[in-house]
Amino acid sequence: MSKRSSRQNAAANAAAAARKGQDNTGILTIDPVMEPQFENGQYREYLVTTALPLLSKKRNMTSKEYLLVAGLLVCAFYVRCSNLAYPNSVVFDEVHFGGFARKYILGQFFMDVHPPLTKMLFGAAGLIGGFKGDFDFKAIGNEFPATTPYVTMRYFPALMGVGTILLCYLTLRNSGCRPIVCLITSAALMIENANVTISRYILLDSPLLFFIASAIYTLKKFEVQVPFSFGWYRCLVGCGIALGLAVSSKWVGLFTIAWVGVCCIYQLWFIIGDLSVNCKKVVHHFVIRGALLLGIPIFLYLLFFSVHFKLLANEGDGSAFMSSAFRASLKGNAIPRDITANVGFGSIVTIRHLETQGGYLHSHNHFYPAGSKQQQITLYPHLDSNNDWIIEPYNETMPDTFVPITDGMKIRLKHVNTGRRLHSHDEKAPVSERDWQKEISCYGFDGFDGDANDDFFVEIVESKSAPGEAQSKLRALQTVFRLRHVMTGHYVFSSTVKLPDWGFEQQEVTAASQGYRPLTNWYIETNKNTRVNSTIEEIVNYPVLSFWDKVAELHKRMWKINQGLTDHHNWQSSPHEWPLLLRGINYWVKDHRQVYFLGNAVVWWASSAAIVTFAIHSLFSIVRWQTGAQVAGNKHVFNFNSQVFLYTVGWALHYFPFFIMGRQLFLHHYIPAIYFAILALGHFFDILVSYLTAKYKVLNKVSYGALGLFLTFALVFYAQYSSLIYGSPWTREKCEASKAIGTWDFDCTTFLNNINEYSTLLTTATQTPIPEDPAAPIDALEAKEAKETPQAAQKKVAKKEEHQSQAEDAEEPKSDEKVEELVPPLAVDLEETK
């Protein structure tokens, strides 16, 4: 018999013996780690990577564990699901995600920076509970009416949180940890304050973490399966599905996909070095893993967006973020249709900016407070008669017949409502400070024929215009053009800069000689000309966007909005603060109670210490190995190094990318990373009770006691700060005594002096909810909506115009919509380099 066969038989016998005695072994003594198999090849020694058939069974739960895990889940259900009815008002980002669920039920289009899956599931939970969309989740602290099944909706993330506890246990079990270690680590996750908090409210984080935990578990289960067996394929498909669910909930799932990719590369590196695996099987490993772990998530991601578009078929608040072509596909939209194609002298047109969400070239009977003090020119995002302009010849009377506007033609633009013409000169821009930006205004008076500063050249951008006639003649919707001022050579230009209150916070328009060239691109959206024969005139409409066009446009919007979340938020924090738990987030304050998002410091700091300790351990091991020292070959050390290395990589991939993000960041962004750190911590516990206890007998009596002490400390912290999780009564004195770190800024003045005072507290004696603003992306934009002028408001009331602004009221109050840059509305590629 060969040496290799004898080793395989010995390993198989050991596994069989382990299996036979496993059910008869106490949970303290079960050892699920097997000796790594090394074989001698012709030229070198190699590691056998093919899992033995009994390895998976060795890491399955025993009959005794089922009762243990059942007890764990009962406790987890109590911790996560008890008294979900309180607070009975909106908590933090429930403003957004509850509101989004409502819009799914009503079918109203909205805009968010996250993929749709979890929000759709919240909508489904609300629908199951009988929600009719009659509560808008408008503000933190708003009480839920009896018709809103908010408890049913909160049960969804709570049950996901319970499931994550089970997945934590199973993941560690399949990673080679002993049952008692899996129990203690999972129990620590169960009472980890931050995870409890996020799982009790209508937030995305708990379902996201469940999907990420599912991906980790199925990958670990996959690793112990016999290659190309049914169980191997089943786990691989399950991992692909979990990755698809994660990335369809938040883009953080991309980090999880990257981690799974790293794990596969790590495993394939050893498979390539395994001389017992032929090249054909190596190729199969590459192809099958790549196809399933990338193909399934992509398919699911696109599938959920397809459902998203079908559910949100009606015009809604979020449609203002999208192009007119996109909005034209929504029911109830006010996008102009059947537009006269050819533009000529005498045409009354609306001119829309191509590269931003600012909207239409707009003027009104209000003047700049400085500079020329002439009539303001702005961009306004809504349909309004102040967007109308007449195209005039620059030096002659209006022709009686139709004369088309062609490339290079000199024109003037006369504002219909005020009679003044678009004008520029060598005056400083109203807001922008750059030397190459000058003022654009409207200038003129009755009987004034205009002057040379009213003249502009039309320059058609052929590469951006539709093929054919639109590249030489001005055509509505199809021609992209620039307006170059004849006297100065500057182009009519707009970026996302907003005017102050005197400009009604509408978007600034200037004349620019430099800057990002696409910001000088315009197109005509509406066109009326009585000189055109209506019976033979060509009519155009926005193109019908395909599914792929919609996906591409929506993702551009999501990305740009996400990148624009740069304004300061009261409860934001920096990534370097997260591992040390230096600050939490105030979620809700009312009736002398508070919900404050704060991690369990015992679990948090121990997990961070585990990551740092492993990094130091790895560095020293590498140095010792390079100097020729013998690296420990114990099976527990081998498994520890392998598993903790991959969990540390997962922690890093879910943590370090936040350092390069310029947007607002919050402590809850660290939740996926801390889960990986907790898994790594579990392996530290396991190496303590296995290898170190066997090596140092003095630890034999204290190792399990140390684990019990850790869990006790974690439980004490959970209990002491539980009032901040559940919004339950707490005293001011206990609150002040609980501030272990000065940067924990929960407000102790919120609470009453005596716990008995809560029983007599009138429910009408409420406090102002804080924080005033949730942290979800759209409201954090602070990209203020353009307001309407008083004259326009009066005109709207008097004439009841058919196409009125969605946001207009007297003195142009702000709309709930937030305005960002617009994805190009034409069905052509409008990307252009600087």
| Same domain (yes/no): 399, 444 | yes
Q: Are 97 and 79 in contact (CB under 8 A)?
A: no
| Same domain (yes/no): 701, 584 | yes
Written as one letter, the residue type at 756 is N
**Per-residue burial over 755-776, b = 16 or more CB atoms within 10 Å of its CB, e = otherwise:** eeebeeeeeeeeeebbbebbbb
* DSSP E strand stretches across 303-359: 339-340, 348-353
The C-alpha atoms of residue 508 and residue 490 are separated, in whole angstroms, by: 15
Query: Is 790 inside any structural domain?
Result: no
Indicate whether 769 pLDDT > 70: no
Indicate whether 213 pLDDT > 70: yes
Convert the pLDDT of each residue in 600-617 to its tens digit.
999 999 999 999 999 999
Predicted local distance difference test score (pLDDT) of residue 768? 45
Q: Is 51 exposed, middle or buried (0-12, 13-18, 19+ CB in 10 A)?
A: middle
Indicate whether 54 pLDDT > 70: yes
Indicate whether 821 pLDDT > 50: no
Of 260, 268, 158, 188, the C-alpha closest to 218 is 260
Convert the pLDDT of each residue in 425-458 to its tens digit.
989 999 998 989 999 999 998 888 889 999 999 9
Q: At 544, which CATH number?
A: 2.80.10.50
Convert the pLDDT of each residue in 265-284 to its tens digit.
999 999 998 888 899 999 99
Query: Is 749 inside any structural domain?
Result: no
Per-residue pLDDT band for 630 (boundaries 50, 70, 90) equals: confident
Domain final residue, candidates 720, 744, 774: 720
| Same domain (yes/no): 142, 266 | yes
- Sign, CA dihedral 373-374-377-378, equals positive
Arithmetic mean of pLDDT, 79-86: 96
Arithmetic mean of pLDDT, 126-145: 95
Q: Which residues are bridge partners to 816 per DSSP? A: none
Convert the pLDDT of each residue in 170-207 to its tens digit.
999 999 999 999 999 999 999 999 999 999 999 999 99
Convert the pLDDT of each residue in 354-372 to its tens digit.
988 888 999 999 999 998 9
| Same domain (yes/no): 415, 538 | yes
**Per-residue burial over 499-533, b = 16 or more CB atoms within 10 Å of its CB, e = otherwise:** beeebbbbbbbbbbbebebbbbbbbbbbbebeebe
Instruction: Report, in angstroms and rounded to the nearest whole number, the Rg of the chain calculated over CA atoms.
Output: 33
Predicted local distance difference test score (pLDDT) of residue 779? 44
Query: Is 745 inside any structural domain?
Result: no
Predicted local distance difference test score (pLDDT) of residue 632? 65
The C-alpha atoms of residue 360 and residue 379 are separated, in whole angstroms, by: 5
Query: Is 19 inside any structural domain?
Result: yes
CB atoms within 10 A of CB 400: 8
Q: Is 501 in a helix, a strand, or coil?
A: helix
| Same domain (yes/no): 303, 354 | no
Query: Is 698 inside any structural domain?
Result: yes
**Using omega within 30 degrees of 0 as the cis cutoff, is the peptide bond preceding 771 cis?**
yes
Domain final residue, candidates 720, 737, 765: 720
Domain final residue, candidates 11, 35, 53: 53
| Same domain (yes/no): 587, 553 | no
SS3 string of 8-22?
Answer: HHHHHHHHHHHHHHH
Convert the pLDDT of each residue in 773-788 to its tens digit.
676 555 444 334 456 6
Query: Is 752 inside any structural domain?
Result: no
Convert the pLDDT of each residue in 466-511 to its tens digit.
999 999 999 999 999 999 999 999 999 999 899 999 999 999 999 9
Q: Which residues are bridge partners to 424 per DSSP? A: 440
Predicted local distance difference test score (pLDDT) of residue 565? 84
Predicted local distance difference test score (pLDDT) of residue 39? 81
Sequence-separated (6 or more) residues with CB below 8 Å from residue 643: 175, 176, 683
- Domain extent, residue 712, equals 54-311+575-720
Per-residue pLDDT band for 663 (boundaries 50, 70, 90) equals: confident
| Same domain (yes/no): 585, 519 | no
Sequence-separated (6 or more) residues with CB below 8 Å from residue 29: none
- Sign, CA dihedral 642-648-651-655, equals negative
Q: CA 82 → CA 159, 269, 324, 508, 720, distances in Å?
A: 11, 47, 47, 52, 17
Predicted local distance difference test score (pLDDT) of residue 221? 96
Per-residue pLDDT band for 802 (boundaries 50, 70, 90) equals: very low
| Same domain (yes/no): 531, 597 | no
Q: Is 731 in a helix, a strand, or coil?
A: strand
Total domain count, the chain = 3
Q: CA 460 → CA 466, 471, 661, distances in Å?
A: 11, 7, 38
- Summary mean pLDDT of the chain: 87
CB atoms within 10 A of CB 362: 28
| Same domain (yes/no): 118, 158 | yes
Indicate whether 1 pLDDT > 50: no
Arithmetic mean of pLDDT, 152-157: 98
Of 443, 412, 437, the C-alpha closest to 494 is 437
Query: Is 782 inside any structural domain?
Result: no
Indicate whether 9 pLDDT > 70: no
Arithmetic mean of pLDDT, 309-318: 94
Q: Two tokens at 572?
A: 């934001």
| Same domain (yes/no): 393, 497 | yes
Query: Is 482 inside any structural domain?
Result: yes
| Same domain (yes/no): 36, 67 | no
pLDDT > 70 fraction of the chain, expressed in percent and rounded:
87
Q: Residue for token digits 């940890």?
A: 177
Indicate whether 795 pLDDT > 80: no
Share of the chain residues as helix, strand and coil, in percent rounded to the nearest 5: 45, 15, 40
Per-residue pLDDT band for 694 (boundaries 50, 70, 90) equals: confident
Q: What is the DSSP string of 815-827?
A: PS----PPPP-SS
| Same domain (yes/no): 508, 381 | yes
Indicate whether 727 pLDDT > 70: yes
Per-residue pLDDT band for 536 (boundaries 50, 70, 90) equals: low
The C-alpha atoms of residue 229 and residue 680 are separated, in whole angstroms, by: 29
Indicate whether 76 pLDDT > 60: yes
Indicate whether 228 pLDDT > 90: yes
Arithmetic mean of pLDDT, 388-394: 95
Predicted local distance difference test score (pLDDT) of residue 549? 96
Predicted local distance difference test score (pLDDT) of residue 761? 72
The C-alpha atoms of residue 641 and residue 684 are separated, in whole angstroms, by: 10
pLDDT > 90 fraction of the chain, expressed in percent and rounded:
69
Convert the pLDDT of each residue in 729-745 to its tens digit.
999 999 999 999 989 99
The C-alpha atoms of residue 432 and residue 435 are separated, in whole angstroms, by: 9
Per-residue pLDDT band for 793 (boundaries 50, 70, 90) equals: low
